[in-house]
Amino acid sequence: MSYRLTKLGVVLSLFMFSGCSSTTYIDEEQVTPELPPSWYTSAQALKENQPWVKAIATPQLLELATIALNRNQALIQQALDVEIKQQQLVVNDANFWPELTGSLNSGRNGNSDTQTNTNSLSFDISVELDIWGKLSDSAKAAKLDLLTAQANYQQARDTLVADVVSAYYKVVTSQELVKLYERRTENARVSFEIIESGYVQGLNAALDVYLTQNEYYNEQSNLLGQRNQLNADVRQLERLLGGYPAAKLLVDAKLPLLPEGIKVGVPSELVKRKPSLQSAWYQLLSQDATVAYTQKQRYPSLRLGGSLGSSDSDFANLFDGDFSSWSVFAGLTSPLFNAGRLKAQTEQQKLVLKQQEQQYLSTLFTAFEQVENALDLDASLQQQYQATLKSQENALQAETLSFEQYQAGLQSYTTVLDAQTRSFVAQTSVINLKNQIIANRIQLHLALGGDLDAGVSQYE
């Protein structure tokens, strides 16, 4: 028995399913949590937006950031992913257009008595009507996948520039620490020579000679270790630039002390501004469209088509324009029995959508956590730096005074060693804290959805 879909039947069916293409399966209340009007972490000192980026944007850093954006292999992969999604969008959009194919066949048939030539030329066209919005849902998912890839690429650019800046000043930090270790090693050598000379003159004890000599060897070992760390930091920067990690890049800069100030905005702004959150949202919407597409796979599909052709025993006559053979058709196909496969696929995609909702919420709250932690740490590091700066000043004075008193016979050499150690720790802490302030400020800017690429480029 054959069935024919009448014009009235098509109209009624379209009316019944006219709302299908706009159906959403996302739990809106679930994915739109109530957000606080401001950040919980006190950021009074950070509310004035000061040009802190200018303090770090050296000409060399600007050049290195540009090199990284052009050569970093991971970023290039992200860019290619965008192009792949663009081509997939073309594939999906092509489903709305008729498909035209041509065929040319030639053959020879016969038996021992007769032989005949058969030649045919035909053009076939067919198109699926998007009566339920199934093709539209597929195209929508492809467009959202492209938006996801574009947002991921922008986030990758921002992160790469932030990583380059952090790695750059990590190298600068290692360089300053190497200089500090070199001074420490030289001071230890001089102290050893002084103490050894005093021992020869009968002024110092043998224990002091052993202690100073031990200190000198320790400083030599520490210096070698710090030089190795410097090489490792340079290699890390070179890899971000997309080059060979030869530890040959020369960095010429000093550690700046950043001013207290960065525009923080409010949590609700972060959702619209940060590329990674935009990507997570687009991915969620894409899965929602995928659910709709899977659901509509259970509905009938209507295809229209036609064919135009010519056949002749003489091959040359195929191209005389006499296409007398033609046909048109309309085909309606619908799944009748598949043992629950299509229904299970729909339920499967709905469960994936629920996973995506939780993934989006996790990404969202993690982004808020990063901002709150970075705000808290920024204020703490500034206070730590000021306290450590005072500690360094006192430690340097104590180091000088302890050695003078030792030479005057008022202190033991262990007191001198203790003062030197305290001085070294304080100086090291000052250098490391300046770097931590830079690194955390960069991460805070990135966490707030800031485009450090644009921020740095404005100073070129």
Region 163-172: mean pLDDT is 97
pLDDT over threshold 90, residue 111: no
What pairing do the DSSP bridges indicate for beta strands 99-110 and 115-129?
Answer: antiparallel
Give the model's confidence band at 265: pLDDT under 50 very low, under 70 low, under 90 confident, else very high: confident
Q: What is the pLDDT of residue 8?
A: 33
Q: Is residue 355 part of a domain?
A: yes
51-55, 111-115, 182-186: range with lowest mean pLDDT:
111-115
Question: What distance in Å separates the CA atoms of residue 429 and residue 151, rounded to the nearest whole number?
Answer: 38
pLDDT over threshold 70, residue 333: yes
pLDDT tens, residue by residue, 176-232: 999 999 999 998 888 888 888 888 888 778 888 898 899 899 999 999 999 999 999
Q: In angstroms, how far apart are the furthest CA atoms of the chain?
A: 131
Q: Cβ contacts of residue 109 below 8 Å, gap of 6+? A: 115, 116, 118
Q: Is residue 324 part of a domain?
A: no
Region 118-127: mean pLDDT is 88
Give the model's confidence band at 457: pLDDT under 50 very low, under 70 low, under 90 confident, else very high: low
Give the model's confidence band at 454: pLDDT under 50 very low, under 70 low, under 90 confident, else very high: low
Give the model's confidence band at 42: pLDDT under 50 very low, under 70 low, under 90 confident, else very high: low
Q: Is residue 116 part of a domain?
A: no
Residue of 148, 168, 179, 398 whose CA lies nearest to 280: 148
Q: What is the mean pLDDT of the chain?
A: 86
Q: Is residue 330 part of a domain?
A: no
Angle at 243 between CA 237 and CA 245, to 5 degrees: 60
Instruction: Mark 352-387 as b/e (b = at least 16 C-beta within 10 Å).
Output: ebeebbeebbebbeebbebbbebbbbbbebbebbee
- Strand, coil or helix: 122: strand
Q: What is the pLDDT of residue 2?
A: 36
The three state secondary structure string of 155-220 is HHHHHHHHHHHHHHHHHHHHHHHHHHHHHHHHHHHHHHHHHHHHHHCCCCCHHHHHHHHHHHHHHH
Give the model's confidence band at 451: pLDDT under 50 very low, under 70 low, under 90 confident, else very high: confident
Residue of 413, 459, 435 whose CA lies nearest to 205: 413
- Strand, coil or helix: 436: helix
pLDDT tens, residue by residue, 355-375: 999 999 999 999 999 999 999
Q: Is residue 315 part of a domain?
A: no
Total number of domains in the chain: 1
| Alpha-carbon dihedral sign for residues 421, 424, 430, 433 | negative
Question: What distance in Å separates the CA atoms of residue 74 and residue 71, rounded to the nearest whole number?
Answer: 9
pLDDT over threshold 90, residue 30: no
Q: Is residue 85 part of a domain?
A: yes
Q: Is residue 33 part of a domain?
A: yes
CATH number at residue 241: 1.20.1600.10
pLDDT over threshold 90, residue 85: yes
Q: Is residue 69 part of a domain?
A: yes
Q: What is the pLDDT of residue 1?
A: 37
- Strand, coil or helix: 39: coil
Q: What is the domain extent for residue 419?
A: 16-98+131-301+341-457
Tokens of 130: 């998007």
75-79, 194-198, 244-248, 441-445: range with lowest mean pLDDT:
194-198
pLDDT tens, residue by residue, 385-402: 999 999 999 999 998 999
